[in-house]
Amino acid sequence: MNFSRNLALWVIIALLIFALFNLFQSSNQQMDQSTVPFSDFITAVEEGNVQDVVIQDNTITGTYRDGIKFHSYTPDDPNLISTLREKGVKITAVPKDDSVSFFSILISWFPMLLLIGVWIFFMRQMQGGGGKAMGFGKSRARQLTEKQGRVTFDDVAGIEEAKQELEEVVDFLKDPSKFQRLGGKIPKGCLLVGPPGTGKTLLARAIAGEANVPFFTISGSDFVEMFVGVGASRVRDMFEQGKKNAPCIIFIDEIDAVGRHRGAGLGGGNDEREQTLNQLLVEMDGFSDNEGVILIAATNRPDVLDPALLRPGRFDRQVVVPNPDIQGREMILGVHMRKVPIGPDVEPLVIARGTPGFSGADLANLVNEAALLAARRNKRLVTMSEFEEAKDKVMMGAERKSMVMSDDEKKLTAFHEAGHALCALHMEASDPIHKATIIPRGRALGMVMRLPESDRVSLSVEKLRADLVVAMGGRVAEELVFGKDKVTTGASNDIKQATNMAKHMVMEWGMSDKLGPIAYSENEQEVFLGHSVTQTQNNSEETARVIDSEVREIIETAYDKATAILTDFRDQLDIIGNGLIEFETLSGDEIRELLNGNPPKRGGTGGAAGGDGKRRSTIPTAGHKKDSSDGNGVEPEPQPGE
């Protein structure tokens, strides 16, 4: 079909080119024949210089005796023929040609045909190449088939509760009598809600692979076009397709594109998106019955959806698809590692512990980065070192191998990180140290990473104060080792994180004795002209003064505690600092071995994991960070407790 269509197109193009060639050729031939005035033609005849002529209506073409051709037009002269005969000119008479050639018609209509062709081309493009001249209102839902890669629930891990909710939908499609005998009805709609990358679309594909029923997929943005009424028409056509193939499943990805609150637009409630939503509401639960058509939708913005869309009878179930916990991350890693040749030293549980807050997409990217790194090293297996380095790259950025640090900068960074590490060792509530490094990554010259034993849901006062002490350890170590005049801007990010944490403790979490369990801030994110605006509650001057005093006291208490630890264990600070200078990277076990007098038996690990805290609910790292422009740390700070 496509071949014949393309062949016809090329034939038309060839004919048009041939017609243009003939047109220009004929015009060139006419230009070759010199056009002479009639008076000059009569003079040449009388002088005997004309050899022959061809007369057609009022047109005269002929040849001079020297072989030059000419062209002229004659008025109604009754003496012309007699004059030509007297001078012995050969006369040829040709009848008037009333026929019109095909090419002349084609050339005359060529601009109009070209305009029509361009219009048809763009109209087909706006339809997505559907091949129907008036197919704007047809649904763009595509039926998923086995050829597109079958996905089952075995390929989905780490979100067991969501799987159970959707497995029930699949069981109903396979054996509806099991539920109907007790009066149960299948949910008309299931809404998958969760952060980006958690596997919502993958779950929908797994339902398609398990249910063995027709499965139609469409994006929310496919409904709305530039033409009025197209979105509503496509919704109707989509449900008509579903009824013809019932029982079936229709999956709408990113439904917030058409499901936003009505009345919030500039069209007075009559814009195209709202009409599309109105039609969707009617089709899901209106006067007509859509028995056997199950609608599954996915979004990461459930807060903007219209309440009428979320009520029972339309979306009966809202399935939350969260970021996986440590067991879920281990299972997800197992799924992705099945496609990669893994070395015997790889421990998915250790990798899962080092990736709190990672989504399924993040973990898939981590495994892929490790495989690419092993391929660049010409390895046949992906070992633990590749996974650790891939984790560093994903969380902190690529290693800055081209950066050359001076000996003084290297020493200062080493003791800065040693201060963080030593405070973490002597604070019982702190998370265990996983790695300390002075290898630059991103904007960080070095960092200390602490990994929690398990995922943390809430934070205690003891844990928060321990994190503040660890954050202050870097600045205190610089002061103790190099003096206050040698203190650098490397602790700017630590100070920023500590200040934010102390403000949260005082203003939101009720952890101040003077202010009590009262929330003094209302951080509400509102969108204004496309920008996110934070509205904060205004407090009185006296309350603001007390808040500042409490924040300052919390941070100064942590600073004093860090000073006491590093002063009392100054010898251990020197051991860790000198160890980092020598080995550049030390694991938590190696730091403890160093303090026991057992140095590591290698020249640097370089393969431990690291992080900058962007993905965690606590401050997991404290590092010597330096901006490339002015030395101020500009890393995004974590929001504790989120």
Judged against a pLDDT cut of 60, whether residue 134 lies above it is answered with: no
Q: What percent of the chain has pLDDT over 90?
A: 3
The 3 state secondary structure assigned to 125-171 is HHCCCCCCCCCCCCCCCEECCHHHCCCCHHHCCCCHHHHHHHHHHHH
Whether residues 471 and 594 share a domain: the answer is yes
Work out the number of other CB atoms within 10 angstroms of the CB of residue 569: 17
Judged against a pLDDT cut of 70, whether residue 6 lies above it is answered with: no
Residue 544 sits in a domain whose CATH number is: 1.20.58.760
- Whether the CB-CB separation of 483 and 477 falls below 8 Å is answered with no
The residue-averaged pLDDT of 20-45 equals 66
Strand partners, 593: none
**Token code pair at residue 120:** 């048809």
Is 194 annotated to bind a ligand? Reply is: yes
Burial class for 614, CB neighbours closer than 10 Å (0-12, 13-18, 19+): middle
User: Is there a domain that residue 124 lies in?
Assistant: no
User: Is there a domain that residue 438 lies in?
Assistant: yes
Cβ contacts of 226 within 8 Å, gap of 6 or more: 126
Altogether, the residues listed in the chain come to a count of 642
Whether residues 306 and 330 share a domain: the answer is no
Residue 374 sits in a domain whose CATH number is: 1.10.8.60
Whether residues 416 and 390 share a domain: the answer is no
Whether residues 82 and 7 share a domain: the answer is yes
Is 494 annotated to bind a ligand? Reply is: yes
User: Chain centroid to CA 443: how far?
Assistant: 24
**DSSP per residue over 421-474, as a string?**
HHHHHH-TTSPPEEEEE---BTTEEEEEEE--SS---S--HHHHHHHHHHHHHH
Which has the higher per-residue pLDDT, 492 or 405? Answer: 492
Whether residues 387 and 339 share a domain: the answer is yes
Is 214 annotated to bind a ligand? Reply is: no
Whether residues 338 and 478 share a domain: the answer is no
CA distances from 215 to 146, 193, 250 (A): 11, 20, 6
Residue 269 sits in a domain whose CATH number is: 3.40.50.300
Residue 79 sits in a domain whose CATH number is: 3.30.720.210
- Whether the CB-CB separation of 562 and 476 falls below 8 Å is answered with yes
Of the listed ranges 102-106, 266-270, 381-385, the least confidently predicted one is 266-270
Is 503 annotated to bind a ligand? Reply is: no
- The owner of tokens 């989120």 is 642
- Whether the CB-CB separation of 60 and 95 falls below 8 Å is answered with no
The 3 state secondary structure assigned to 78-128 is CCHHHHHHHCCCEEEECCCCCCCCHHHHHHHHHHHHHHHHHHHHHHHHHCC
Of the listed ranges 264-278, 482-496, 527-541, 568-582, the least confidently predicted one is 527-541
Whether residues 470 and 576 share a domain: the answer is yes
Work out the number of other CB atoms within 10 angstroms of the CB of residue 592: 14
Whether residues 180 and 252 share a domain: the answer is yes
Question: Quick one: pLDDT at residue 402?
Answer: 59
Catalytic residue from among 210, 369, 417, 590: 417
Whether residues 219 and 360 share a domain: the answer is no
Is 455 annotated to bind a ligand? Reply is: no
Tell which of 320, 345, 366 closes a domain: 320
User: Is there a domain that residue 116 lies in?
Assistant: no
Is 307 annotated to bind a ligand? Reply is: no
Whether residues 286 and 367 share a domain: the answer is no
Q: How many domains does the chain have?
A: 4
**What range does the domain containing 58 cover?**
2-93
The residue-averaged pLDDT of 231-240 equals 80
Is 201 annotated to bind a ligand? Reply is: yes
Whether residues 296 and 364 share a domain: the answer is no
Q: How many alpha carbons fall within 13 Å on the CB side of residue 429? A: 15
User: Is there a domain that residue 191 lies in?
Assistant: yes
Q: What's the pTM?
A: 0.59
315-336 confidence digits (pLDDT tens): 888 888 888 888 888 888 888 8
pLDDT band at 370 (very low <50, low <70, confident <90, very high): very high
Annotated catalytic residue 168: no
Tell which of 66, 93, 120 closes a domain: 93
| Mutual angle of helices 461-482 and 570-583, in 10-degree steps | 80
Tell which of 299, 320, 341 closes a domain: 320
User: Is there a domain that residue 185 lies in?
Assistant: yes
Which has the higher per-residue pLDDT, 508 or 535? Answer: 508
User: Is there a domain that residue 123 lies in?
Assistant: no
Whether residues 241 and 356 share a domain: the answer is no
Of the listed ranges 133-142, 392-401, 441-450, the least confidently predicted one is 133-142
Angle at 493 (CA atoms; ends 491, 494), nearest 5 degrees: 65
User: Is there a domain that residue 214 lies in?
Assistant: yes
Burial class for 352, CB neighbours closer than 10 Å (0-12, 13-18, 19+): buried
User: Is there a domain that residue 119 lies in?
Assistant: no
Cβ contacts of 432 within 8 Å, gap of 6 or more: 424, 450, 451, 453, 588
- Whether the CB-CB separation of 58 and 74 falls below 8 Å is answered with yes
